[in-house]
Chain A
Amino acid sequence: MDWYPLINSLRVALISCVIVFFTGIAAAWYVSKLSGLLKAITDVVLTLPLVLPPTVVGYFLLRLLGPRRILGVWAFNNFGIRLTMMWYSAIFASVVVSFPLMYRTARGAFEAFDRTLEYSAKTLGLSDTYIFWRIRMPFCRQGIIAGTILSFARALGEYGATSMIAGYTPGRTTTISTAVYQLWRTGDNSLAMKWVLVNLAISFSVLTAINFLERGKQ
């Protein structure tokens, strides 16, 4: 059995998870400090990929990154690289699709923070650095970890946008989800079943990890 789809899937999911971790937290921090109409609009825009069909996201990405589109042309002229139909093209799809999960979970954690903890810490003479790392972050930690796991799982399971932007080239752009579809389509049921079981094992571990963290909360 060729393990390329597993390695490629994990590689794509890990890289997009790292990107989403930082951008999601930064966006959450920024939006949690906004108010009014600006906050409402920013929030809708950042959450949109969560509710859009992945094919719509894929379509948008192709309009931006395609070989004749603005970013695609720019990347090719400046770095000589193609943005679509490569293994790393799947990262663009996974990042966009999993970003809202990280962003929303982290924002929820930041907004749930009890400001009186910060205020009373200040009157007790504790420094801002201490308050951030020893009080605020422990308070939000579980939310951030849960967000990271959820976005990793979402990135791993991404199919729609990925198949549009990275396609299916065996040994070059296949991920587990695109492999399962192609194997079923070509009638290779036993191999498709193996990949289904691999996928189940990964999803099962991720959900168990989340539950374990949830229990740690109490």
Chain B
Amino acid sequence: MSLYVDVHKTFGNFQLDVELSLGNEELALLGASGSGKSLTLSCIAGIVKPDRGKIIIDGVTVFDSEKGINVPPQKRHTGLMFQNYALFPNMTVYQNLRAGQRHSDTNEIADILSRFGLEEVKDLYPSQISGGQQQRTALARMLLSRPKILMLDEPFSALDSHLRFHMERELLDVFNGFGGSVILVSHSRDEAFRLCRRVAVVSGGHIDVEGAKNEVFADPKTRNAAILTGCKNISRCEYISDEKIFASDWGIELVCREYRPDTKYIGIRMHSITHELEGINCFECRVVQVIENPFSFTVMMIPRESDCNAKPIGWEMDKNLWQKVRADYVKICLPPENILLLKE
């Protein structure tokens, strides 16, 4: 099973230009709200008609503006789970599953009810069951329609964090059992990383960066992708030499592993900063704020050599380490291999 999408659509002053192809793997569309993630899913499902482009699901062209092909959503065989699950409120859990079933087979429903632990609530209405049960019902209903691809729009946004953890594990099982193409829309980098093999960062209606999750997190390439993958320390930068740049927001010179001509920003993740007394990219910093997290400390610091208008750098570390190094001034290192070179 596979998916190829190339869609273009203009909505007022918002423009969607997304191109992606996917094999039997999970792709997370990571982006802020309004970036076009959900719209992309709607285009694939056939709810929104793109202005132009092409969509091929499992070898079948379901949309092609040049050839005038636009298969209705009913015949596209895509599974789309909405943020609010869109369960039919006037039908019981069982009736919801029946409605979604393409081939009537009561054994199939009984099997899936037991697989998702819904037997006890099968005669209740969606408003009478818990958030987790609602999500399981939506998943079961989607699977019963025998989709060729699965698409999930912010599946955990309606759940509290404890339930989220459990549902994430259940979803992993569903993905493994499904074996086809899966697209997960999310704004949480943790969720995206845990559930998917590939990550695409979406911003302003187009895909910024796309790749295997480890590569994207290790080298986000753009400022936006760095922010969405959770990099909190980002500074504008100026070219000094092929090995050296000046981080203007922090007021320090940094040695980098390589030089990329289009670098406009540099970033370093809060946990990539190390505590060294001397070495490459080592600085003495003034501590301006200490934030205590449940299992770590975040220390905001300004390099001593920069002026006071500099933006603070955040350093997240183990509680034990901060107990040891706690002081008004601390020595830190920004290892060249951990510095992210970022385009606009």
Residues of A in contact with B (beta carbons under 8 Å apart): 114, 116-117, 119-127, 134-135, 138-139
Q: Report A-chain residues with C-beta under 8 Å of the C-beta of B161.
A: none
Q: Beyond A119-B42, A120-B80, A125-B75, list 14 extra A-B contacts (CB 8 Å).
A: A116-B84, A116-B86, A117-B88, A119-B73, A121-B88, A121-B99, A123-B73, A124-B102, A126-B99, A134-B88, A134-B99, A135-B88, A138-B90, A139-B90
Task: Tell yes or no: B132 within 8 A of A by CB.
Answer: no
Bound complex: CA of A116 vs CA of B45, how far in Å? Answer: 12
Answer whether residue B47 sits at the interface, using C-beta atoms and an 8 A cutoff. yes
Most buried by A among B84, B88, B102: B88
B127 to chain A: closest residue by CB = A218
Nearest B residue to A138 via CB reads B90
A116 to B84, CA, bound (A): 8
A187 CB, min distance to chain B CBs, angstroms: 55
Q: Find out whether the CB atom of A120 lies under 8 angstroms from the CB atom of B82.
A: yes
A127–B99 alpha-carbon span in the complex (Å): 11
Interface string of B221-234 (1 = CB under 8 A from A): 00000000000000
B86 touching A114, Cβ below 8 Å: yes
* Residues in A neighbouring B78, C-beta threshold 8 A: 123
Chain B 251-274 residues near chain A, CB threshold 8 A: none
* Leading 10 A-B pairs by shortest Cβ distance: A120-B86, A122-B73, A138-B90, A116-B86, A124-B100, A116-B82, A124-B145, A123-B80, A119-B47, A125-B74
Q: Is B187 an interface residue (CB 8 A)?
A: no
Q: What is the 8 Å Cβ interface bit string for chain B, positions 54-97, against chain A (1 contact, 0 not)?
A: 00000000000000000011111111111010101110000000
Q: Which residues of A contact B81 (CB under 8 A)?
A: 120
Q: Is the CB of A122 within 8 A of B82?
A: no
Inter-subunit contact A122/B74 (CB<8 Å)? yes
B8 at interface (Cβ–Cβ under 8 A)? no
- Report yes or no: A126 in contact with B74, Cβ–Cβ below 8 A: yes
Residue-by-residue, is B85-121 near A (CB-CB < 8 Å gives 1, otherwise 0)? 0101110000000011010000000000000000000
Report if B141 contacts A (CB, 8 A): yes
Query: Which listed residue, A114, A121, A122, A135, touches B84 by the CB 8 Å rule?
Result: A114
Asked if residues A117 and B86 are in contact (CB atoms below 8 Å), the reply is yes
User: In the complex, what distance in Å separates the CA atom of A134 from the CA atom of B89?
Assistant: 11
Could you write out 26 A-B pairs with CB less than 8 Å apart? A116-B82, A116-B86, A117-B89, A119-B45, A120-B80, A120-B81, A120-B82, A120-B86, A121-B86, A121-B88, A121-B99, A123-B47, A123-B73, A123-B76, A123-B78, A124-B99, A124-B100, A124-B102, A124-B141, A124-B142, A124-B145, A125-B145, A127-B74, A135-B88, A135-B90, A139-B90
Residues of B within 8 A of A126 (CB): 74, 99
Residue of A nearest to B146 (CB): A125
Measured in the bound complex, the distance between the Cα atoms of B88 and A200 in whole Å is 40
Residues of B near A139 (CB, < 8 A) are 89-90
Give every chain A residue within 8 A of B86 (Cβ-Cβ): 114, 116-117, 119-121
Residues of A within 8 A of B89 (CB): 117, 139
CA distance A206 to B181 in the complex (A): 55
Please report the C-alpha to C-alpha distance between residue A117 and residue B73 in the assembled complex, in whole angstroms.
Answer: 13
**Is B50 at the interface (CB under 8 A from chain A)?**
no
Shortest beta-carbon distance, A137 to chain B, in Å?
A: 9
Distance between Cα atoms of A134 and B95 in the complex (Å): 11
Instruction: Name the residue of chain B whose CB is nearest to the CB of A135.
Output: B88
- Inside 8 A of A134's CB, which chain B residues have their CB? 88, 90, 99
- B312 contacts the other chain (Cβ, under 8 Å)? no
Cβ contacts B136-158/A at 8 Å (1 or 0 each):
00000110010100000000000
Of all chain A residues, the one with the shortest Cβ separation from B84 is: A116
**B31 contact set on A, CB distance < 8 A:** none
Bound CA span A139–B42, Å: 23
Compute how far the CA of A135 lies from the CA of B170 in the bound complex, rounded to whole angstroms: 29
Tell me how far the C-beta of B2 lies from the nearest C-beta in chain A, rounded to whole angstroms. Answer: 19
Q: Do A122 and B72 touch across chains, with their CB atoms under 8 A apart?
A: yes
A residues less than 8 Å from B79 (CB atoms): 123
The minimal Cβ–Cβ distance linking A91 to chain B, given in whole angstroms, is 35
Instruction: Give min CB distance, B187 to chain A, whole Å.
Output: 18
Are A119 and B82 closer than 8 Å at their CB atoms? yes
Given contacts A116-B86, A117-B86, A117-B88, contact A122 B46 (CB under 8 A): yes
**CA–CA, A134 to B80, complex, Å?**
20
Assembled-state Cα–Cα distance A39/B74 (Å): 31
Expressed in whole angstroms, the Cα–Cα distance for A121 and B100 within the complex equals 8
Bound complex: CA of A138 vs CA of B100, how far in Å?
17
Identify which of A122, A125, A127, A138 contacts B47 (C-beta below 8 A). Answer: A122
CA A119 to CA B76, docked complex, whole Å: 13
Residues of A close to B76: CB separation below 8 A: 123
For residue B72, which residues in chain A have a CB less than 8 angstroms away from its CB? Answer: 122
Q: Pick from B77, B80, B145: contact of A119, CB below 8 A.
A: B80
Q: Which B residue's beta carbon lies closest to that of A119?
A: B47
Q: With a CB–CB cut-off of 8 A, which chain B residues contact A114? A: 84, 86
Cα(A193)–Cα(B318), bound, Å: 85
Nearest CB of B to A111, in Å: 16
